[in-house]
Amino acid sequence: MPTSSERAESRDLPAFLAAHTPFQAATEAELTELSEGATIEEFPAGAVVADYAVRVPDEIWLVRDGAIALRASRDGALIDVVEPGGLFGYLPLLAGAGMDFQARTTVPTTLIKLPGSLVRAQFAKPAGLAFLASSGWNHAAGERPAIAPATDSRPVAELVHGDVLLVEPVESVRDVVVRMTERHVSYALIRLRDGHLGIFTDRDLRTRVVAAGLPVDVPIARVMRAPARTVTADLTADSVLMEMLECGLRHMPVLNSRGEVLGVVEDADLLAASARESFMLRRSIALAGDAAELQQVGQRVTGTAVDLFRNGTKTAATSAILSVVIDSLVRRALEIVLSASDSAPADGFAWLTLGSVARREAMPSSDVDSALSWRDDMAGHAVTLRRVAADVHQLLDRCGLPSDSNGAVAAKPKFSRSQSDWLRAAQGWLADPLRDRGLVFSSLLIDGRVVWGDARLHSVPAAYQRIREEHPNALRLQLLDALSGKVRMRSLRDVLSRRGGTFDLKNHAVTPIVNLARWGGLSAGLTSASTPARLEAAAQAGALSQRDADTLRDVFTMLQRLRMAHQVEQIAAGHTPGDIVTMAELSPLNRSLLGDGLREIAAVRRRVGNFGYSAV
């Protein structure tokens, strides 16, 4: 039930209605009448707003803020998520019949209820008809495919279904929309003369046609997006999901090795219902207008990761989604700080994320490591840019993302330099890795990934790509550092046998694998990458045996799962998440897995210690 209900204020409601389909075509008098007949209602998270299997409505709802999940009444399957500016309830209203779905809030939500007697006329207009054509398929509960969990490592080609809708550039928007409606799909692909593809989606119809006031007889080539971003059929569903999340896409054409279109996957094909929250959260971050709004949105980041994991998403996918969302938060924080500064440059520099977030391996406990790199002609802005970095981290702190406790942040001179200074520093670390903590700095910067600005300004990785051929001694020291005594089996046996002791999952188990994988990746000429990708590259290059690479990958996966489960439990108990576990609190199975995993790490390290020197 709503927590409050009040008569909508006519001052701002007409403008809000006029900004959203299908009301752009409404006259001023009609907008006034709609506003006077409307009510604003507020609902808490998880509230059922309407059950259309129970009653036929005489109203529709417009989302003012928050979000509504439309779920099939019979099995709870997710049909769609309605975001601010979106409508729901219009299909059963216009059909005059009940439909098998429920509308439930996913977060605290404010809705505008509009009486059916006033809105029916708006759907009879061209803008209303176009809206219905663009949206009808999203609400037919029986038409959508079953939603797969965001835990799938199968090739994405296995998730492609149905025939591909391919149209010609000269076809009209009207004809394309009719074909989309007939096929019950929310996209059309357009064949281009250069061999590429364009794409047109239901969202494009709303934003590029209806909202732009264009007639529906314009050629589809005028309003498509081209070239469409595509993926190859051999990529895993997990990797495609990450790309779609990072780029904010809901449709992805899948091509075979010959460049032929096999089909189109949608976010719902890859996402568990709970995982869709990450798309919504990323959108909310992008729409945050100021620091206060971003702070409010940022407080939801950790909770999203908790929900993903609890709802069955694999740890690797949960960590990757969390990392992408953190990147979005960092970018928006930087944009907000820059917009408030009178002296900071708008470009000419790059913001780097370091550490686990850069490797797409973030945990709820992860802090934010960062660095800055700027063009050589930007030296006069160094002080200003470091001040900007300090302000960004202060804002991120308020969002619940603390700065690195060891000071690896872009506000510090050692982590903010010109492009040439970084390159000279990297060359110095290669020549003498023990000078100025070269091993530590190089490890951080090799992991670094640009999340804002020109990626070419990150000059450190290029210096390390030929380390095996040009700086074998530096590579050997990387190996020695990876094999240094952070895992001591004697002390670990003592801890395990007592069971009442504590154990640091990150520092004493995960970090040794991460460091060994970094060395293996460098041996293969691979710099910034995830730990599993580095292990596989090391095996392909002969730095690790395939057996050892597979072993370390499996142990890493197990440890990350233990970490995530432990931190989720801590958060549920109201504690700050961390990596220290009490052995007595682990289940017998997890104690056994941890002990076996530590022995496997030690065995691989011994083999690499005996073999690795000759391998490099």
Are 238 and 285 members of one domain?
Answer: no
Same domain, 583 and 517: yes
Question: Where are the extended beta strands (E) located within 225-369?
Answer: 231-232, 251-255, 261-266, 349-353
Residue partners of 289: CB distance under 8 A and separation at least 6:
none
- Please state, in angstroms and rounded to a whole number, the distance separating the CA atoms of residues 455 and 449: 8
Boundary-marking domain end, from 270, 289, 322 = 270
Report the relative pairing of strands 580-582 and 4-7 from DSSP bridges.
unpaired
Instruction: Judge whether 61 lies within some domain.
Output: yes
Place of tokens 């990708």: 533
Q: Do 257 and 358 belong together in one domain?
A: no
What tokens appear for 168 in the block?
Answer: 């010609």
CA dihedral 458, 462, 465, 471 (to 10 degrees): -110
Specify the DSSP element, H or E, that contains 398: helix 382-398
Grouping H, G, I as helix, E, B as strand and the rest as coil, residue 236 is strand
Neighbours of 405 (CB within 10 A): 8
Supply the pLDDT for residue 564.
94
Helices and strands per DSSP (H, E), number in the chain: 26, 21
Amino acid at 577: P
- Angstrom distance (rounded) from CA 461 to CA 452: 17
- Specify whether 410 is located in the same domain as 506: no
Tell me whether residue 367 is in a domain. Answer: yes
Question: What does the alpha-carbon distance between residue 510 and residue 525 come to, in Å, rounded to a whole number?
Answer: 22
Rg (CA), the chain: 27
Bridge partner residues of 190 (DSSP)? 167, 198
What CATH number corresponds to the domain at position 166? 3.10.580.10
Q: Residue 212 — φ and ψ, nearest 5°?
A: -85, -5
Does 475 reside within a domain?
no
Residue type, 241: L
For residue 311, give the 3-state DSSP assignment. coil
What SS3 state is found at 555? helix
pLDDT of residue 359: 93
Structure tokens at 370: 């960062």
Does residue 471 sit within a domain? Answer: no
Helix (H, G, I), strand (E, B) or coil at 616: coil
The DSSP output letter for 210 is I
- Distance from C-alpha of 453 to C-alpha of 501, rounded to nearest angstrom: 46
Residue 191 maps to a domain? yes
Q: Is 562 exposed, middle or buried (0-12, 13-18, 19+ CB in 10 A)?
A: buried
Q: Of 435, 464, 493, which residue sits at a domain end?
A: 464
In this structure, the answer to whether residues 277 and 261 fall within a common structural domain is no
- CA dist., res. 318 & res. 109, Å (int): 25
Distance of alpha carbon 531 from alpha carbon 514, whole angstroms? 6
Amino acid identity, residue 60? I
| Alpha carbons 348 and 242: distance in angstroms, whole number | 28
- The token duo for 254 is 């899948």
Classify the C-alpha dihedral 529-534-540-546 as positive or negative. Answer: negative
520's tokens? 């293996």
Q: Which amino acid is at 134?
A: S
Neighbours of 371 (CB within 10 A): 27
In a domain, 473, yes or no: no
Residues 459 and 341 in one domain: yes
- Report the distance separating Cα 532 and Cα 521, nearest Å: 10
Q: Within a 10 A sphere around the Cβ of 489, how many other Cβ atoms?
A: 14
What are the beta bridge partners of residue 450? 352
Residue pair 487/601 in contact (Cβ under 8 Å)? The answer is yes
| CA pair distance 346, 324, nearest whole angstrom | 23
Place of tokens 């006033």: 118
Residues 455 and 326 in one domain: yes
Are 423 and 361 within 8 A, CB to CB?
no
pLDDT at position 540 is 92
| Cα–Cα distance measured from residue 597 to residue 558, given in angstroms and rounded to the nearest whole number | 8
Same domain, 258 and 280: no
Q: CA 303 to CA 299: how far, in whole Å?
A: 8
Closest C-alpha among 235, 268, 264, 267 to residue 250? 267
Q: What pLDDT, on the 0 to 100 scale, is given for residue 152?
A: 52
**Do 534 and 588 fall within a single domain?**
yes
End-to-end CA distance of the chain: 67
CATH number of the domain residue 65 falls in = 2.60.120.10
Distance between CA atoms of 477 and 466, rounded to whole angstroms?
Answer: 15
- Cα dihedral: 255, 451, 437, 517 (round 10): -20
Residue 146 lies in a domain: no
AA letter at 339: S
Profile the chain (616 residues) by mean pLDDT over runs of 10 residues.
42 82 81 90 92 83 89 70 84 68 89 88 65 48 37 69 87 88 84 90 80 84 92 80 74 87 79 59 82 91 84 82 90 94 90 94 94 94 96 95 90 95 93 86 92 92 89 90 65 49 89 94 90 93 93 94 93 91 84 89 89 50
Q: How far is CA 104 from each of CA 170, 296, 392, rounded to the nearest angstrom?
A: 41, 22, 35
DSSP run (H or E) holding 49:
strand 48-51
Q: Are 601 and 549 in contact (CB under 8 A)?
A: no
Which domain, by its residues, includes 306?
273-464
Please enumerate in sequence order all residues whose Cβ is within 8 A of that of 207, keeping only pairs 6 or more positions apart, or say none: none
**CA atoms of 288 and 336, how far apart (whole Å):** 9
Domain count, the chain: 4
The number of residues making up the chain comes to: 616
Q: Which of 214, 235, 270 is the last residue of a domain?
A: 270
Q: Which of 553, 464, 457, 450 is nearest to 510 (CA)?
A: 553
Residue 559 confidence (pLDDT) = 95
Q: Output b/e per residue, 425-438; b: 16+ Cβ within 10 A.
A: bbebbbeebeeeeb
| Structure letter (DSSP) for residue 509 | I
Q: Answer yes or no: do 443 and 486 share one domain.
A: no
Tell me how many degrees the CA angle 366-371-372 measures, rounded to the nearest 5: 150
- Do 55 and 36 lie in a common domain? yes
Q: Which of 389, 457, 386, 472 is nearest to 423 (CA)?
A: 457
What 3-state class would DSSP assign to 490?
Answer: helix
Q: Does residue 192 lie in a domain region?
A: yes
How far is Cα 352 from Cα 459, in angstroms, rounded to an integer?
Answer: 11
Instruction: Tokens for 521, please give them.
Output: 């990746």
- The answer on 91 and 19 residing in a single domain is yes
